[in-house]
Structure 1
Amino acid sequence: MSRELMDQAKKAVLDATRRGAKGVRAVVSRNRASSVEWRDGKIDRLRESTRMALGLTLFVDGRYSVNTTSDLRPAAVDRFLDEVIAMTRVLTKDPHRKLADPESYKGRHEGDLKIFDASRTVSAVERRKIAAALEAAARAGSGSAKIVSVSTQCSDNVSEGAMATSNGMEGTRTDTSFVLLAMTSVQDRGSRKPQGYSYAARRLFLSLPTVESVGMDATRRATQEIGARPEKSGQYRCILENRIAGRLLDWLLGQPLTGRAIQQRRSFLADKLGRPIASQVLTVTDDPLLESGLGSGTYDGEGMSARRRVVVENGVLKTHYLDTYYASKLERPPTTESSSNLVFGPGTQGLDGLLKAMGNGILITGFSGGNSNPATGDFSIGISGHWIENGKAARPVSEMNLSGNHLTFWNRLLELGTDAFLDSSTRSPSLRFDTVQFSGK
């Protein structure tokens, strides 16, 4: 199938060039997504879809456009090309818009990243059985008497894509993903019904955890929130649990590092390259070649060959994410347009060890709402979790806010755990911080 997609991409490039385009990037994709959603003993929703699309980036007479169609019949594609090239000719010229340098296509990784599971397909019957088993596991754990409702999901996805450019890039990719999800709501005081969720997302089916562990974890998390109340406002030591730490890390290393934010001076990290932005214990590597990584691939959205790069080293910012356009505007060499897999430097101990080292403070296990200003670095976010005394969970907490500035907050980082979270492209471990500001009762 990838060969067929490549033939379509190359034909689109050739046909657009014949119509007067000076530069063309074509991406043809095919995606099949299937899922079963299950609630309280029966199917809630079934979904199955297959989509194909042609994405075309055009450079015509110094002008630029990005266009997409899902009608890939030859006559429809011809009409599409005529229309979008004519439209592009009336846009404003921009000298910084261009294809990536052909030199950036060289040196592409040729090994198997193990992001496609050719050995496993999941039938509709099996999806239903897995979803039902997730619910059974959620109802089998301690605290099941408090359960109000359980919803689960089993889904899988197969994606294929081919990219071709008019200046020599050709590449294909095929990947799979498998997801398990369980959500449990339980009865608390009055009308309060706290929820707990657990999920797993992997490239390879056999690397998924058991349905029992996912289902029981959802109920455990829900029951642990029964009786949750806010603590008094103040400065407390805290730990971010691994699975939620990526939310704050994205506010630090996501939009503020993009070329658009840097060039438009809407990033608090615009002038921080080569300077400390976090504690010395923080080292983060962007690794698109990570085996079975959810963000892995051999080339980026412009076709540039994927390469590992250090983002933060011992707290010092080492790179920005610059695509060809913003690199040109900034008069700097391009790196890549966005992050892939974020991998963290070596941790020292597991979550239990981090809790013991913290002594007293807040273990944050959930976020709600929140906002972060990429221009200033100021942020505020609702949290839930547990008050920790002498390294042990003493009582659940909720309805509190964590707030501050990223440059201050990340300099309070004391220690990384060894429990990297595998079900995200941000493979953060649990993170232990010195005192930071919380708002509560």
Structure 2
Amino acid sequence: MPLFTRKKAGALLFLSLFIVVTLAALRAECAPQAPKNDVTRAEFFLKKFEDRVNRFRGQAFRLGYEDNEALKRIKELKEKYPDDPAVESLFQRGRLALMKSKGDFMEITPDMLVYRENEKKLKQLFGDIADREWKQFTEDILAGPTALPKAFPAPDRTQVSIEDIRESYVILDEFEYPANQFIDLGREFVSVGSGARGYYFVEISNRNWLGPYEAVKRYRRLINRDFPEEGKWTLLGRITGIEMVIPQAEKVKTVAPQWGWVVTPVALYIPGVTFAFYDSANELGGSFAGEERMEEIKDPLYTVRYVPRDVEPERLVEIFAASVKEKNFELFLDCIDPDRKKTRTAQSLIRYHWDLHLERFATFYVHITTDEAKIDVISGFDTGTGVEDFFLDEEQKEKIREISGEVVEQALVTTRAWDERGRQYGSPKPHYLIRKNKGRWYINNYEQPF
């Protein structure tokens, strides 16, 4: 092709592009423009929608009147004035706000859910141990002469003396606590039976009851959170007396007094779940089946076993969450500020919130993420600000440290919790950590949900 022809073709191409761009610009200028008042009103509602999205901080919420009004007005404008840049801007902002109103999302991997599978394995394992030990325990007792062959009908007090059956073992399959709990004679009992079948009154105001019952609570806390702290269980006990009481919890009694055999608890059994027994030599008063080997059994399932001395605030919060998911109560305690676990009341409060954390990780969320920590010195003197450093030499700084006392730092770590579908649960939560004199970090507000 001659050079002149190529130049001519290039010029024509450039001219064509110029015409297309010019026509597009003219078209945009000539496109119908939405009335400014309508755009302003739509943006008014959109800003309220965006403000609400920001307040919820990633949490999903149901659209209200103002939110729907914003979307409705933008939709009408977009349909009438599709080429108006102002309307297009509102449309894009509306899309973004609507998406955020559905909540933040993340991918939940199988590794994040493995703790739930491990809990199922532990339930099965300890349930099998309980069934096996209960069978052996009761076989030895029932084979002896001091056991009632069956609980009901209960021995007739007019025909059987307490001396004939004192210290005899009896298995009560219909022990229901606390539904049948009552107080009489200054003592606490649980009634089992009826007027027609005879009564047993299980005394629960002594260590023989508290030992096994506390063991059942430990089982729930450390192995199986789904197991309720109340219900119909099987109780093994010894007959130790006979009393006439009113087996009714209400202050105003509406039933007649009843004779019944007083039973002192020996063991509790929930088939397929756990078996707990009284042990006078045990400091805790009793234990549940497999408790002596619990840490040996659970240890391979732990992903974290201790808190490093140089742990960063964000990592400590992650370890704290892992201790709950993996039911590592000792690790949970080690994460908490020592000043918040000094008394028996404080220890009891910790166990209460431990149970709540277990409940939340079982039902509400499965994974947490942390934001970068924000650290402040709240007591003492660490180092000066940039301006202070300009005026103070090292000797002066050291003097200020001496008179200011110990250095206490506080770290704020914000967490987000995610459910098994990958959606953010609730709003981000603040966790406050404490460190003294550059020592190890500890969690202060351990009761805070994730």
Per the normalisation by structure 2, the TM-score is 0.21
Q: Name the structure, 1 or 2, with higher relative contact order (CA <8 Å, separation 6+).
A: 1
Q: As a proportion of its length, which structure holds more helix?
A: 2
Per the normalisation by structure 1, the TM-score is 0.21
